[in-house]
Structure 1
C-alpha cells in the first residue's frame, strides 16, 4: 500500500526513534525506503498519463478558480479579437473594419469619454422630458426599445413552438432594475439591506442624468414604486424555466383593443414588425402596464425612464456612471472585486452592440478556408457514421429508424459563420463618442433582431457569435453549428494527424449530433414538429443504457474533493453523449483508415484526452460537483474510453486494469 505524505512522515519519524534505541535488529539490518508511487500509465489513468505535461506546466495560480485547455482557448480568442480591433483601428481594409476600428478607438479614448459626460444620452433624456400626458408614455417606451434599451417589458424574437420554421415576437416580463421580482416583495433583513443599497444606486444614476438634488429622494421612490408594481404582476424566476409555459400565441390584431393605453400595435410598427402572431404568456402583466400608463402621473414615468436609460448606458459613459454601476451591479450583486480592464470592457461592449459585425471579420481573419473545409469534411463523415449506427441500433423500431434517417437527411452543417449574413448598412459611427456609438450600434443590432420575426427566418442567424468558441446542435433547426473561434487547437489542430483530429473535433461533433437522436432529440421529428417519435419501449431501452452509464459515473471519485463522488444522474445525459461522440468519431476514423498503425490509433485517444485537462480550486470543484451537467475532466476523458475495446487494444491494456471496464457499455454496437 502506498502511504500518503503525512503517513510517510509519521512512519519515518517512528523508524528514526527506533533506530536511536539499542536494538540488535536495527544494527544488523538496513531498512528499505518505501517505494515511490508509480506514475500514471495509459491503462491506470489515461487522463493523467496523456495530460501529464499540460498538468505540470499549468498549475492553478493563487486566487484563480480554474484553468483548463478550453479556458485557454477562450483566452486565445480574446487576444485575437484585441489584435483584430487594433488592426481595424490603425489600418482598416473594408467598411465594416472601419466601423469597428472607429468604435474601438472611441472606447479606448478615456479622455474623450470623460469629456462626453452624459451627452450621449441627452437626446433620449430630452425625449423623456417631453412627456406631458399619458399618451406620450408608450411612444417613449417604443423609442427606447428601438435603441436596444428595453423598458417596462421585454420584446424579442424567438422560435414559434408550434412552427419551428419561423420566429415570432415574444412580449415578456422585464423592465426591472433587479434580477428577481421577489426582491421587491420580500421583507427579510437581507432583502431590506439590498433594497437600501439599490435605492442609493438609483439616486446616484438619477443625479448623473440631471435630476435636481431636491427631487432625488422622491424620484427614486417613484422609480421603485413603479418597478414594484411591475414585479407584483411578474412571474417568479422558477416559472420562467419552462418554454411551453411561457409560450402563448395571440393574434397581433387583438392587441390594439386589449391594451389601448399601452399602444402595442404602434409599438410593433415602431420595431418594424408586421407579423400576424406574437406570444404573450403573461397578459395580466400587460393589463397592469396598460392601467399604469393611465393611472400614474407622467412625472413618475419620466423618473423611471430616466433611470432605466442611465442604468443601461452607465458602463459606456464617464467614470462617475461606471463607478456607480460597478459598485452596485459588480460588487453588491455579483461579488466582484474590481471592474474589467478597459480593453476588455470595450470589447464586451462591442460584442453586445455589434457582435455579428465583429464575428464576420473574425472569421475572415482567423479561419483559413482549408480549415473550414476540413471541419466540414470531418463533420459529414461523423454524420454518416451516426446514420449507420442508427440503422443497426436494435433498440429502435423500423418506424423510429425511418424517422431518424429522415431527420438526419435534413441535418444542416454550418461551419464558421451563419449561412445567412446580416445587413451591415449602419450609419457611420466615427471616433467622437463611445456612448453615442453604443447607441448607434445597438440600434442596428435591434433592427437585425427584429428581422428574425416572420416565416422562413428561423435560421436567419445563430444564437452564438462566430468569435465565441462553440460547437452545438440546434435542436429547433436541426443543424450543427461550429463557430470560427472553435476551429483551432485544442479542438481542431490541422498540424496533428488525422487520428488526432477525429479524436478531438470529430468526437465533439459526434457528441453534439447525438443530441438530435437522444432523450431530447426524440421530441422533435424530421419535419421540425414537436412530438415524441419514440415508443415507450424505445424510451425504456435508451434509459436502460443511460442509467448504466450514470451508475458507473456515480462510482468515480470527484477529483480534488475528499470523499465525494461524481453525481451520476446529474451528468448522465452528457456522459452518454461523450460516449456517443467517441464511438461515432472512432467509426468515422476507422472507415477512413481501416488498418492504421498502432500509434495512429493512440493519437485518436490522446486527442480526446487533450480536450479536458483542468485544474480546479476546491471551491470551484465543489460548485461544479453540485451543479454541472458535465463530469470533471478526468472522467470526461476516462469515462468513455474504459468502455472501448479499441482503447485497450491500442495501449495493450489487460483485463483488470483500471482503464478496462468489467462490463463495458456500448452505445452503438
Structure 2
C-alpha cells in the first residue's frame, strides 16, 4: 500500500524563535563570525536536544505543528463533520481510535480476501486473485503503478516493476552470511506468526512458511539489485499492451489492466525477464504454494491496521529488526499515518480548506512571481552561458507552472461509505479508492494530476518532469509567511526557498528537459564546462566546513554540491527580488531578510545523527545552509559591517556568485 514517488520533495521548516537584532558592536562581530549561531541564539537555547532524541530542528517543529493540525481537523470531523468528506474522515479516525473495537474486529476485515484465496484450486484462478489484490492496494507478485511516460512527459502510463515480497531488498534472500541468515530466521518466525493469525493450523505453519520463502526467493532471484533501480531511465521500457496477453498468458495481463481500469495502449516493463518468471511460476507452481504466499501477503500488508497481536508481530519484525526502532508510535500517530497513506488526498483537501487563508496564498504567489522575475532578469544578462542556453532557459522559465496549496486538478472523492465499525475494513475501502484514483492518472495529458507530496505535509518541490513549482498548504503558514513578521523576513525565508527550488530547472538535472518538455540536453559543451567549474568551487568551499558534533569531519562537498548551489542561488535571487520590491529598505529590514533565511535551519543533532548526515546526506548541516550562501554575498557583509577578514565575509575572488548583479545606473546630478 505504498506509493513510490519519481521525484522527491524538499521539506522545509522555520522557527518563530529568532534572535532580535540590535546594534551592539559585539553582536555585529558575532554576526560576522557565525551568523547561524547569532541569528538563532534564542532558538538554540530554548530547544535543547531532548533526552534520547537524535535531532531537533525548526523543520521538525513545523512538521510537528502540521501533524497536530491534522489531528485537530480529524477530531473536529469526528465530532461535527462539515460535509461528506469530513464525514468519511471522521468515521475513519473514530474507527482507528476505538482500540476495543479493533480488538473485537480481529481478522474479520480480511475474511473476504482470505475466502477468495482459499478458493484457489487451480492455476487459472491465480491471475484474477492477483488482479483483485492490486485493486485493494495490496501489490502481490509485482508492483504496478502510474508514473510519467519518459517518452512523453505530458502523460502517465502504467509501470510494471519488481515488488511483491516482504523484505525491502532482494539481496536478503540470496546472501548466505551469518547476519543475513539471522534476519531470515526472524523473518521465517514472523511469517509463521502472521499465517497463524490468518487461521493456518499449527502443524501446517512450518510447511506454509517454507512455501512462502521459496516463492519469494524465486522472485528475488529474478529481480535486479536496488542500486540498478535508482536511475528512472533504468525502470522504463515502453511496450504495447496488445501483445501482453500472448507474452504472459498465465498472468492474463490484458484482464489485469482491465481490472485496474487502465486502457492506455502503452505500459512500461523495464524487466520483462522478471515478469516472465512470475508468469512461469503462476503456471508451474502448485496452487497450494500460491495460496500460502497470497495469504501471507494479505496478512503482512494489513497487520498494522488490525488487532494488537497483528500489530505487535508486524512491529517486532519490520520495526525492530528491519528499521531498528525501539518502540512503535503512539496509537494516535499510527491511525494518522494510516489515514495519510490510504486517504491522504482527502485529508489534504480538508486541511487546505481549513488552514490555508486566501490572503496567505496571495502573498505567497506575489513573492513567488517576483523571485521568478528575478531569475528571468538574471538569465537575460548572464553572459557566462551561451546565447542558445540562455534563450532555452528563458523560454522554459516563462512556461514554468506554479501550484500553491493544493493540486490544480482535484480528485473524485466518491467512495463507499465507511462507518465507525471496522478500522481494517475502512483501510481497505480507502486503499481501494486511492488505488482507483492512482489508476485514473494513467492517460493522455494527465501528468499534472500528480503531486508527490500531500497538501498537509510541509514541502516545497520543483517537479522536474512538469516544469512546475509545488508548494503545499502546510508550508504556507506562520512563521514561513507570518503576517506579523516583516515583509523582508518572508523574502529571506519563503522567497529564498522558492529561488532554491526553481533554480533546479536550470541546473545539472534541469538542463536535460527543455522548454517544450522534451527530454534533451540544451546545454552546449561550454555551458557544461562553466557549470562544472562553478561546481568545483562550491565543492571546495563547502568541503572545508566542519560538521558540527564531529571533530575533524568535513562536509561532503561532492554529495551536497547541487543542493548547496541551489541554496546560494535561492538566497541571491530572493535578495534581488526583495531589493527590487523595496529599493529604499533600511538596515533593519535588510537584517530581517538574512535572519529569515537563518531561521529556516536551526537544529541540534546527536553525534550519531551528525555522522549519518555526513555519510549519506545531500544537504549540508543547518549551520552551513545558513552561513554558506551568506558568506558569498557582499551585501551581507555590508549590512552587518563585517571586516574584510571576518569568517562571514569572503574575499571577492573567493565568492561564488551564481547570478550577476543588476546594473544600477547612476543618477545624473
Q: What TM-score results when the alignment is normalised by the length of structure 1? A: 0.94
Residues in 2 aligned to 1:432 and 1:331: alpha-carbon distance in whole angstroms? 30
Aligned to 1:309: 298
The partner residue of 1:465 within 450, 454, 470 is: 454
Moved more, 399-408 or 469-478: 399-408
Question: Within the alignment, does 1:176 sit opposite 2:165 as a pair?
Answer: yes
The partner residue of 1:583 within 560, 572, 575 is: 572
Aligned to 1:574: 563
Aligned to 1:140: 129
Using a 3 Å threshold, how does the CA distance of structure 1 residues 225 and 40 change in structure 2: closer, same or farther? farther
Residues in 1 aligned to 2:178 and 2:648: alpha-carbon distance in whole angstroms? 53
Aligned to 2:235: 246
Residues in 2 aligned to 1:666 and 1:366: alpha-carbon distance in whole angstroms? 38
Q: Secondary structure at the match of 2:552?
A: coil
Question: Within the alignment, does 1:401 sit opposite 2:390 as a pair?
Answer: yes
Aligned to 1:282: 271
Aligned to 1:665: 656
Aligned to 1:523: 512
Deviation of the 1:39 alpha carbon: 9.8
Are the aligned partners of 2:154 and 2:445 in contact in 1 as well (CA < 8 Å)?
yes
The partner residue of 1:328 within 296, 317, 332 is: 317
Residues in 1 aligned to 2:577 and 2:476: alpha-carbon distance in whole angstroms? 19
Deviation of the 1:492 alpha carbon: 2.1
Are the aligned partners of 1:566 and 1:625 in contact in 2 as well (CA < 8 Å)?
yes
TM-superposition CA deviations, 1:234-289 (whole Å, max 9, x none): 11111111211111000001101100111010000000000000000111111111
Deviation of the 1:398 alpha carbon: 1.6
TM-superposition CA deviations, 1:22-52 (whole Å, max 9, x none): xxxxxxxxxxxxxxx9996111111111111
Aligned to 1:104: 93
Residues in 2 aligned to 1:391 and 1:559: alpha-carbon distance in whole angstroms? 39
Q: Secondary structure at the match of 1:655?
A: coil
The partner residue of 1:354 within 343, 346, 351 is: 343
Aligned to 2:524: 535
The partner residue of 2:33 within 44, 51, 64 is: 44
Deviation of the 1:89 alpha carbon: 0.2
Are the aligned partners of 2:264 and 2:443 in contact in 1 as well (CA < 8 Å)?
yes
Residues in 2 aligned to 1:493 and 1:579: alpha-carbon distance in whole angstroms? 23
TM-superposition CA deviations, 1:426-484 (whole Å, max 9, x none): 01101010000000000000000000101110001301100011101000000000000
Aligned to 2:57: 68
Aligned to 1:27: none
TM-superposition CA deviations, 1:98-135 (whole Å, max 9, x none): 00000000000000000000000100001111111110
Question: Within the alignment, does 1:476 sit opposite 2:465 as a pair?
Answer: yes
Are the aligned partners of 1:490 and 1:611 in contact in 2 as well (CA < 8 Å)?
no
Root-mean-square deviation (CA), in Å?
1.1
Aligned to 2:425: 436
Residues in 1 aligned to 2:632 and 2:244: alpha-carbon distance in whole angstroms? 57
TM-superposition CA deviations, 1:544-572 (whole Å, max 9, x none): 12211211111112111111111112211
Are the aligned partners of 1:155 and 1:170 in contact in 2 as well (CA < 8 Å)?
yes
Residues in 2 aligned to 1:38 and 1:379: alpha-carbon distance in whole angstroms? 32
Are the aligned partners of 1:151 and 1:308 in contact in 2 as well (CA < 8 Å)?
yes
TM-superposition CA deviations, 1:495-527 (whole Å, max 9, x none): 111111000000000000000011111010001
Residues in 2 aligned to 1:354 and 1:554: alpha-carbon distance in whole angstroms? 43
Aligned to 1:375: 364
Are the aligned partners of 1:512 and 1:577 in contact in 2 as well (CA < 8 Å)?
yes
Aligned to 2:10: none
TM-superposition CA deviations, 1:65-103 (whole Å, max 9, x none): 000111100110111111000000001111000000000
Deviation of the 1:641 alpha carbon: 0.6
Using a 3 Å threshold, how does the CA distance of structure 1 residues 100 and 38 change in structure 2: closer, same or farther? closer
Q: Secondary structure at the match of 1:42?
A: helix
The partner residue of 1:339 within 312, 322, 328 is: 328
Residues in 2 aligned to 1:428 and 1:40: alpha-carbon distance in whole angstroms? 63
Are the aligned partners of 2:632 and 2:655 in contact in 1 as well (CA < 8 Å)?
yes
Aligned to 2:480: 491
Aligned to 1:629: 618
Question: Within the alignment, does 1:271 sit opposite 2:260 as a pair?
Answer: yes
Aligned to 1:257: 246
Residues in 1 aligned to 2:522 and 2:461: alpha-carbon distance in whole angstroms? 22
Stretches of 4+ moved more than 4 A in 1? 37-40
Residues in 2 aligned to 1:665 and 1:103: alpha-carbon distance in whole angstroms? 52
Residues in 2 aligned to 1:573 and 1:185: alpha-carbon distance in whole angstroms? 36
TM-superposition CA deviations, 1:324-365 (whole Å, max 9, x none): 111111111111111110000000000000000000001111
Aligned to 1:508: 497
Q: Secondary structure at the match of 1:155?
A: strand
Residues in 2 aligned to 1:574 and 1:385: alpha-carbon distance in whole angstroms? 20
Residues in 2 aligned to 1:537 and 1:368: alpha-carbon distance in whole angstroms? 46
Using a 3 Å threshold, how does the CA distance of structure 1 residues 40 and 322 change in structure 2: closer, same or farther? farther
Count of aligned pairs between the two proteins: 633
Q: Secondary structure at the match of 1:430?
A: coil
Are the aligned partners of 1:524 and 1:531 in contact in 2 as well (CA < 8 Å)?
yes
- Return 5+ residue gaps in structure 2 as ranges: 1-25, 661-669
Q: Secondary structure at the match of 1:481?
A: strand
Q: Secondary structure at the match of 1:207?
A: helix
Deviation of the 1:144 alpha carbon: 0.2
Are the aligned partners of 1:73 and 1:489 in contact in 2 as well (CA < 8 Å)?
no
The partner residue of 1:163 within 137, 152, 165 is: 152
Aligned to 2:12: none
Are the aligned partners of 1:44 and 1:657 in contact in 2 as well (CA < 8 Å)?
yes
Q: Secondary structure at the match of 2:414?
A: coil
Q: Secondary structure at the match of 2:155?
A: strand
Higher Cα Rg, which structure: 1
Question: Within the alignment, does 1:114 sit opposite 2:100 as a pair?
Answer: no
Are the aligned partners of 1:73 and 1:490 in contact in 2 as well (CA < 8 Å)?
no
Are the aligned partners of 1:363 and 1:417 in contact in 2 as well (CA < 8 Å)?
yes
Using a 3 Å threshold, how does the CA distance of structure 1 residues 59 and 39 change in structure 2: closer, same or farther? farther
Aligned to 1:386: 375
- Return 5+ residue gaps in structure 1 as ranges: 1-36
Question: Within the alignment, does 1:85 sit opposite 2:67 as a pair?
Answer: no
Residues in 2 aligned to 1:413 and 1:419: alpha-carbon distance in whole angstroms? 9
Aligned to 1:8: none
